[in-house]
Amino acid sequence: MSTTFDEPRAADPIAQAPVLAPGHSPGTVTEAIAGLVTRKVAKTPKWWLLGFAVSFGLLNVLLFAVTKLFMTGIGVWGNNIPVGWAWDITSFVWWIGIGHAGTLISAILLLLRQSWRNSINRFAEAMTIFAVSCAGMYPILHLGRPWLPYWLLPIPGTLMAWPNFRSPLIWDVFAVSTYATISLVFWYVGMIPDLATLRDHSTSRVARLIYGSAALGWRGSARHWANYEAAALLLAGLSTPLVLSVHSIVSFDFSIGIVPGWHTTVFPPYFVAGAVFAGFAMVLTLVLPLRPLFGLKDFITDRHLQNMAKVMLTTGLIVAYGYGIEAFAAWYSGNPYEWYMMKNRVTGPYALQYGLLLLCNIVVPQLLWIKKVRSNVWALWTIAMVINLGMWLERFVIIVVSLSRDFVPSNWAMFHATRYDVMTFAGTIGLFLTLTFLFVRFLPTLNMYEMRSLTPEAASTPHEE
Amino acid sequence: MTSPIEPPAPPEPTTLPIDFAAARERLRSSRGPAFWRGLEELAGDERFQEFLAREFPRHASDWDESLERGFSRRRFFELGLASMALAGMAACTRQPFEKIVPYVKQPEEILPGVPLQFATAMTLGGFAQPLLAESHEGRPTKLEGNPEHPASLGAATALAQASILDLYDPDRLQTPTKLETIQTWALFSDELKAAAKAQKALGGAGLRVLTGSVTSPTLASQLRTLLAAFPKARWHQWEPAGRDEVRAGAVKAFGQPVETRYELSKADVVVALDADFLVSGPHSVRYAKDFSARRRLVGGATEMSRLYTFESSPTPTGTKADNRQPVRASALPAVALALGAELGVPGFAKPAGLDEKVARTVAAAAKDLKSRAGAGVVIVGDPVAAPVHAAAHAINAALGAIGKTVVLTEPAEAEPVAQGDSLAALAADMKAGQVQLLLVLGGNPVYDAPSDLAFADALQKVPLRVHLTSAANETSRYCHWNVPQAHFLESWTDARALDGTVTIAQPLIEPLYDGKTAHEVLSVLLEDSPRTSHDVVKEFWRAEKRGAADFEAFWRKSLHDGLVEGTAFEPRPATPDAAGAAAWLAELAELAGRVGKPGALELSFRPDPSVWDGSFANNGWLQELPRPLSKITWDNAAILAPATAERLGVQPDDVVTLTVGGRSASLPVFVQPGQAADVVTVHFGFGRTVAGRVGNGVGVDVAPIRTRAAGLWLVPGVQLAATGRKARLSQTQQHFRMEGRHIVRSATLAEYRKEPDFAKKLGELPAVEESLYPPMAYKDNAWGVSVDLGTCIGCNACMVACQAENNVPVVGKEQVGRSREMHWIRIDHYYEGNDLENPLIHNQPLMCQQCENAPCEVVCPVGATVHGAEGLNEMAYNRCVGTRYCSNNCPYKARRFNFFEYNADKEPVLKMLANPEVTVRSRGVMEKCTYCIQRINRAKIAAEREGRAIRDGEIRTACQQTCPADAIVFGNINDPLAHVSKLKKEPRTYWVLEELNTRPRTTYLASVKNPNPDLEAG
């Protein structure tokens, strides 16, 4: 595999690189994409088996860690008083943030008619669902009594007790569950035409039955397409505010609190930008290896990578601004607790984590200004991984570092992660990867009909995209 | 309220010895086809259950172990089998036909659900600690101070309160044992009688009795009878944390053993020489009461006493010092000499080479003492060398303090002896083979005797060794007979407090096991038909009160009050023995000449503030009680000054080896600001090997380096070497700097006079109108607390009171190390000032502040913590799902979380301890202080039934009730006449973190100290 992809040699320097490699017709697109899914079980590539085995192994680590957690208590983690939340909520926010790229790509870019999104939106949406699944577990796992999460729902029951609607955690319940539902519906609805294609291409009876059931009788009639387009637009409209609201509400978990380092008005926009930042980094992390492995270089071109890098650069700058404002406000407010919090981040016992965070999220992404870097797969992947790490550290710094030193110095204590913290987090990565591997093997990774619309044939008779 | 009803005398013991062989046989035969029947039989057999409990003990202290393991295979099978067995029983058996009978006639006094209180006393170092014990339906649940008793006035120390846990200690010895086999009391008394008969023929030449300090008039009379009956027998006494130096000092000064008691309510100037008189010692509670009364700046008072302390290691008393001077222990004789010289006491000459800073403080103290003739007092700590005590007597006499601030009485101990010599004599006799029968009545000399006596080796030369002990300990392993000692809540006895007041201690519960008292053991030796301790004690007092009109009335009144009226000693006019002065003055001068050179390390031993001499080692409450200042739990350490640690190149948690005369002990280092340079302070009472599940292997046994030859309290030459190892100490507080925040506010008396409301000016309370919400209205009661930081001595008594009252669990060293301790109230310490070697030290008790605008309430998603109608932040434990958001959002971090099922695996006997009025919290639930809401509700019910309002002072929180310094006051702030309302109007009142607009119901009275302006200037 070459480390750089070919520089487009268009005569017009302003002309953009294509989003679909030349020479494709609707037929070849379908063949290329559906072929990945409908191939025989025996022909499952070795790398998939290996990758799936590793991911599934990690998933079992999660099973082990969670079993232990449920049997003995939160104490298997390193959480303590004052650090009541640590890796649990850090990872929750991290996963929720990762999901955002999918929604942004599928909803906002759809509304903005950015056709370059077509080849990555399915994948990004899937990533959203899987990330939200990982995220959604944490609020339940982190409960002292994890068998009672339904007490957070407004269920009229014999307890005659209502949740406390003043608590941001209740807002979270609504925000995250809405987000998960809409994302799932959006993803599924968007997949119906492609499921029908798979139904038609499948050779095995079982596959035809499964894909056929999932395709809900899609025949590709004009009426179907008309309804489909309307539904997609409506769902995109519904999803768009979610991109902004979910992470805003997640940020309220902190900004409603009075802990120095939490109680900040900049959090909602800063969290949203951070989420998109992290989400695109995760898309790149996954797409870059899949491109050569699945032979999708024709569909996910350098143009996509360039665009995603640019989005990362932009949101990265917003995040950097957020850090700056945090520090400025801590100083400008004249609030001694806020100012101490800031000084503690820079010089306290967690200075290393804060320094790494700045390096990962501010310094390293600046390399993306350089086109050579944006065009280098290895560089791009490395930067994406660095951003993944940086965004996890960001939440760690906000949550753990702020809690470890708040108001009354006698309580101050450090947080020390245990192996169960690590296992739980690694386990959710296992869950995420397992779902991703299953997805790339059994569902259309790319949106076939939208890709078909990018072929020259389709372009001559454009339909609504 | 105390009850005059005496509990019925305990009947004959009913517990049978356990037949292990038969039990094992039963277990073996329960396999195969007989499975179901066999298990039922086993489950129904009490003795077998006991056997199981002993065979498979669950470790209360090592959560780390058991929780990391979680569900071990063995536990899985245990539970699986047990539930199968239970299922089987429910399915296949009929309930046993056993009649239960309700009270036909309600016993007088007993109302189900209403606790009763009985006066009793425990002894610590032999001295009575007067107590009131709360009893719920016949089981004691809590100990409090006896308000009627002059040594308590209602308060109690942490140790005295925690001693209730020892009653329910599952590791207690349950039956008499001989060579580790189970025996009966009857067998034991037969054998003892036979041995006594043999001794009788010899005049008791081979009989020795070893006790601790004895103040019990009954026990003393029994021992004297014994010595009369066996004229050649000997009675030895030994307390590892004893007061030999105090006794010797008194003998030096007065030519006779006299007891010294201080009247601190009359003292304007107190000079303490390494004396932690407010917290340790037999009379500390009363001292704290009297001392704090002279420090309480309320109602416009602007005068307070002044305390100078010269200490080698900071103590709670030192935190109250107005001028605190660290001074190495070996320099105390020089300090005493200098003080005497400054005061012009005859025979005192200024020593050479006293540190200039120390000399200046001494001069200032002397000037102060002189200016308050008759109202000054010099107090010397128990471990300080005898000539310093003698010097203090001479100085006090010269100050005219005797009869005023110093009261001399006859000693409370029945037989004051030099206990070190006494124990050495016993060891020598044993080694020489002169002892045939040794009775060790309580105590643990194998563990705590000075190691150069080689007590264990000597002990093995005795043909018959009998040990009366509450739990098997190190000494038990060397004794033939071990007889379970009844806990003080199970036994009749009597004891004197330091002032001589006798308490006749009554039991609250029949012995849980086969426990006996020293009275009963001695009665076997002395009488043909041994008597119960009730009879022994009562007969003694009947004889004492011969001629008194109505003995029964006297007896009942004494039991009810918890003291025998008129038994306090009269002050004895005594003047120092001028003739003998020359001798001890020479000794003093000699000692003063031996001040350690700078850089020469010296080792100072102190009993541990929590587990004392090691006798409380198996007490989880005390092991987990953070030691004052260091906040260390579950460990002892080599405490060093910052400068000394720096010079030696050691860091906190570095394990160092202390070597004295070829023997050594290795401990982790703790660096303590305020410690005197070149002094290594080490607490003994740790490293027990046979203490029980909680105490085994906690900390390091320093017995090897604590010898009579090198010094029991102060070892002048000690080598310290780093081992390169690290051992993590578990502390409940790690950060002692206030970071410029006004958490604790303090001023000097001069500043306070100038600006009484200085504390308020350091903060900014937002106006009520600044909130978007209207303030809550409280119709009847609005509870509040005022805490006086000026008087709080940081003694930890409130922490134990809260732990007992609110069923607060013990979590173990590993969990404390993870910052998961559960104490609802804690004592925070902060250091202030630029001098690392002598900072100002502040104490601050901190519990839930019951905020008016509580940050915790808003964020709880399920409404488990809600604002009560009387302004408390109430906890609905069974609604809590455990998000911990409330704790994150609590600026005071007053909430505690059950990270594990801390209350699981409790021995059945420990369940008897729980206060039935407070929920025992389960895993995953947040908990915190609610101002003892159960006490509030009890009072509310009583008031409602009587159709009246709750009276001020009717409700006292557990922490308030036991506070020896009366620093905590609870009450209704809606009532302008309530004590708490008045305190809240004091100018010193402030709120912690008021700028957050939490509006706490707990307010603090800022600390005011009264340093000598002359010293300030320099």
Q: Does B733 touch chain A (CB under 8 A)?
A: yes
Domains of chain B: 1-109 (no CATH), 177-242+415-488+508-547 (3.40.50.740), 259-409 (3.40.228.10), 596-731 (2.40.40.20), 746-1009 (3.30.70.20)
Partnered with residue B670 across adjacent β-strands are B639
CA angle B211, B214, B217 (to 5 degrees): 130
* Contact between B892 and A257 using a beta-carbon 8 Å cutoff: no
What's the pLDDT at B103? 66
Q: What is the mean pLDDT of residues A368-383?
A: 89
* Contact between B881 and A144 using a beta-carbon 8 Å cutoff: yes
**CB-based burial label for B31 (10 Å; 0-12, 13-18, 19+):** exposed
Which pLDDT tens digit goes with each residue over B218-236? 999 999 999 999 999 999 9
Reply yes or no on whether the pLDDT at A397 is more than 60: yes
Reply yes or no on whether the pLDDT at B15 is more than 50: no
* Contact between B885 and A75 using a beta-carbon 8 Å cutoff: no
What's the pLDDT at B774? 84
Looking at CA atoms only, how far is residue A135 from chain B in angstroms?
16
Q: Does B575 touch chain A (CB under 8 A)?
A: no
Are the C-beta atoms of B677 and B357 separated by less than 8 Å?
no
What's the pLDDT at A384? 92
Give the residue extent of every domain in chain A.
26-155+182-457
Number of A–B residue contacts, CB under 8 Å: 179
Window 810-849 of B: residues touching A by CB (8 A cutoff) are 815, 818-820, 826, 828-830, 844, 846
Could you tell me which residues come within 8 angstroms of residue A260 by beta carbon, excluding any fewer than 6 positions away?
Answer: A330, A335, A337, A338, A340, A341, A402, A406, A407
Alpha helices by DSSP H, listed for B818-913, are 855-859, 885-888, 908-911
* Contact between A145 and B924 using a beta-carbon 8 Å cutoff: yes
Dihedral angle computed from the Cα positions of residues B695, B698, B702 and B704, in that order, rounded to the nearest 10 degrees: 80
pLDDT band for A61, please (50, 70, 90 cuts).
Answer: very high
Residue from the list A80, A144, A408 with its beta carbon closest to the beta carbon of B898 = A144
Which pLDDT tens digit goes with each residue over B630-658? 999 999 999 999 999 999 999 999 999 99
Q: Does B897 touch chain A (CB under 8 A)?
A: yes
* Contact between A68 and B925 using a beta-carbon 8 Å cutoff: no
Q: Considering only CB atoms, which chain B residues are within 8 Å of A340? A: 739
Please state, in angstroms and rounded to a whole number, the distance separating the CA atoms of residues B462 and B484.
21
Percent of chain A with pLDDT over 90: 42
What's the pLDDT at B850? 94
Looking at CA atoms only, how far is residue A400 from chain B in angstroms?
10
Strands (E), B622-688: 632-633, 638-640, 654-660, 663-671, 679-684
* Contact between A80 and B900 using a beta-carbon 8 Å cutoff: no
Reply yes or no on whether the pLDDT at B7 is more than 50: no
Please state, in angstroms and rounded to a whole number, the distance separating the CA atoms of residues A195 and A444.
8
Which has the minimum average pLDDT: A283-297, B415-429, B674-688, B919-933? A283-297
Reply yes or no on whether the pLDDT at B465 is more than 50: yes
Q: Considering only CB atoms, which chain B residues are within 8 Å of A407? A: 741, 891-893, 993, 996
Reply yes or no on whether the pLDDT at A38 is more than 70: no
Could you tell me which residues come within 8 angstroms of residue B775 by beta carbon, excluding any fewer than 6 positions away?
Answer: B768, B852
Please state, in angstroms and rounded to a whole number, the distance separating the CA atoms of residues B825 and B711.
38
Window 940-999 of B: residues touching A by CB (8 A cutoff) are 992-993, 996
Q: Considering only CB atoms, which chain B residues are within 8 Å of A166? A: 858-859
Interface test with B, best of A411, A414, A418, A419 (most B CBs within 10 A): A411
Which pLDDT tens digit goes with each residue over A302-330? 888 888 888 899 999 999 999 999 999 99
CA distances from A435 to A34, A131, A134, A292, B813 (A): 19, 10, 10, 20, 42
Q: Does A343 touch chain B (CB under 8 A)?
A: no
Q: Does A81 touch chain B (CB under 8 A)?
A: yes
Partnered with residue B127 across adjacent β-strands are B124
Q: Does A386 touch chain B (CB under 8 A)?
A: no
pLDDT band for A18, please (50, 70, 90 cuts).
Answer: low
CA angle B62, B68, B73 (to 5 degrees): 100
Q: Considering only CB atoms, which chain B residues are within 8 Å of A412? A: 734-735
The DSSP call for residue B269 is E
* Contact between B738 and A148 using a beta-carbon 8 Å cutoff: no
Looking at CA atoms only, how far is residue B265 from chain A in angstroms?
33
Q: What is the mean pLDDT of residues B918-938?
A: 93
Residue from the list B896, B923, B993 with its beta carbon closest to the beta carbon of A73 = B923
* Contact between B830 and A81 using a beta-carbon 8 Å cutoff: no
Buried b (16+ CB within 10 A) or exposed e, B679-695: bbbbbbbbbbebbbbbb
Q: Does B739 touch chain A (CB under 8 A)?
A: yes
Q: What is the mean pLDDT of residues A83-111?
A: 85
Which pLDDT tens digit goes with each residue over B344-358? 888 888 888 888 889
Angle between helix axes B797-805 and B158-167 (nearest 10 degrees) is 30
Q: Does A145 touch chain B (CB under 8 A)?
A: yes
What's the pLDDT at B351? 87
Q: Which of A190-199, A287-296, B2-11, B605-614 is the most confident on average?
A: B605-614
* Contact between A73 and B885 using a beta-carbon 8 Å cutoff: no
Are the C-beta atoms of B924 and A71 separated by less than 8 Å?
no
* Contact between A409 and B735 using a beta-carbon 8 Å cutoff: yes
pLDDT band for B240, please (50, 70, 90 cuts).
Answer: very high
Which pLDDT tens digit goes with each residue over B575-604? 787 778 888 889 898 888 888 888 889 999
Reply yes or no on whether the pLDDT at B61 is more than 50: no
What's the pLDDT at B41? 41
Looking at CA atoms only, how far is residue A347 from chain B in angstroms?
14
Please state, in angstroms and rounded to a whole number, the distance separating the CA atoms of residues A82 and A410.
10
Q: Which helix (H) or strand (E) holds B469?
A: strand B464-469
Residue from the list B738, B829, B899 with its beta carbon closest to the beta carbon of A75 = B899
Reply yes or no on whether the pLDDT at B466 is more than 80: yes
Q: Does B548 touch chain A (CB under 8 A)?
A: no
Which pLDDT tens digit goes with each residue over B157-214? 999 999 999 999 999 999 999 988 999 999 999 999 999 989 888 888 999 999 999 9
Backbone angles phi, psi at B503, to 5 degrees: -115, 130
ipTM summary value = 0.89
Q: What is the mean pLDDT of residues B532-551?
A: 87
What's the pLDDT at B271? 94
Q: Considering only CB atoms, which chain B residues are within 8 Å of A76? A: 67
* Contact between A161 and B829 using a beta-carbon 8 Å cutoff: no
Q: Considering only CB atoms, which chain B residues are within 8 Å of A256? A: 858-859
Residue B240 CB: number of other CB atoms within 10 A?
26
Reply yes or no on whether the pLDDT at B804 is more than 60: yes
Reply yes or no on whether the pLDDT at B88 is more than 60: no
Average pLDDT in chain B: 87
Question: In the block, which residue shows the tokens 């996963």?
Answer: A95
Looking at CA atoms only, how far is residue B974 from chain A in angstroms?
29
* Contact between B925 and A161 using a beta-carbon 8 Å cutoff: no
Please state, in angstroms and rounded to a whole number, the distance separating the CA atoms of residues B619 and A394.
44
Reply yes or no on whether the pLDDT at A463 is more than 60: no
Reply yes or no on whether the pLDDT at B67 is more than 90: no
Q: Is the alpha carbon torsion for B195, B196, B201, B202 positive or negative?
A: positive
Interface test with B, best of A408, A415, A418 (most B CBs within 10 A): A408
A-chain residue closest to B842, CA distance: A410
Please state, in angstroms and rounded to a whole number, the distance separating the CA atoms of residues B354 and B331.
8
Reply yes or no on whether the pLDDT at B734 is more than 90: no
* Contact between A408 and B892 using a beta-carbon 8 Å cutoff: yes
Which pLDDT tens digit goes with each residue over A403-430? 999 999 999 999 999 999 999 999 999 9
* Contact between B741 and A409 using a beta-carbon 8 Å cutoff: yes
Are the C-beta atoms of B670 and B654 separated by less than 8 Å?
no
Window 170-209 of A: residues touching B by CB (8 A cutoff) are 170, 173
Backbone angles phi, psi at A433, to 5 degrees: -70, -40
* Between B4 and A171, the higher pLDDT residue: A171
Q: Does A162 touch chain B (CB under 8 A)?
A: yes
Please state, in angstroms and rounded to a whole number, the distance separating the CA atoms of residues A113 and A101.
16
What's the pLDDT at B28? 56
What's the pLDDT at B667? 93
Residue B716, preceding peptide bond in cis (omega within 30° of 0): no
> How many residues can be counted in chain B?
1018
Which pLDDT tens digit goes with each residue over B600-624? 899 999 999 999 999 999 999 999 9
Q: What is the mean pLDDT of residues A217-245?
A: 87
What's the pLDDT at B517? 92
Looking at CA atoms only, how far is residue B924 from chain A in angstroms?
3
Q: What is the mean pLDDT of residues B691-710?
A: 91
Q: How far is CA B856 from the centre of its chain?
A: 34
Residue from the list B67, B738, B893 with its beta carbon closest to the beta carbon of A81 = B893
A-chain residue closest to B879, CA distance: A151
What's the pLDDT at B87? 52
Q: Considering only CB atoms, which chain B residues are within 8 Å of A410? A: 733, 735-736, 743, 826, 828-830, 844, 846
Q: Does B742 touch chain A (CB under 8 A)?
A: no
CA distances from A369 to A277, A320, A359, A366, B998 (A): 15, 15, 16, 6, 48
pTM higher than 0.90: no
Closest to B839 (Cα-Cα) out of B314, B357, B316, B360: B314
Could you tell me which residues come within 8 angstroms of residue B935 by beta carbon, excluding any fewer than 6 positions away?
Answer: B805, B955, B956, B957, B958
Q: How far is CA B920 from the centre of its chain?
A: 24
**CB-based burial label for A334 (10 Å; 0-12, 13-18, 19+):** exposed
Interface test with A, best of B72, B893, B903, B997 (most A CBs within 10 A): B893
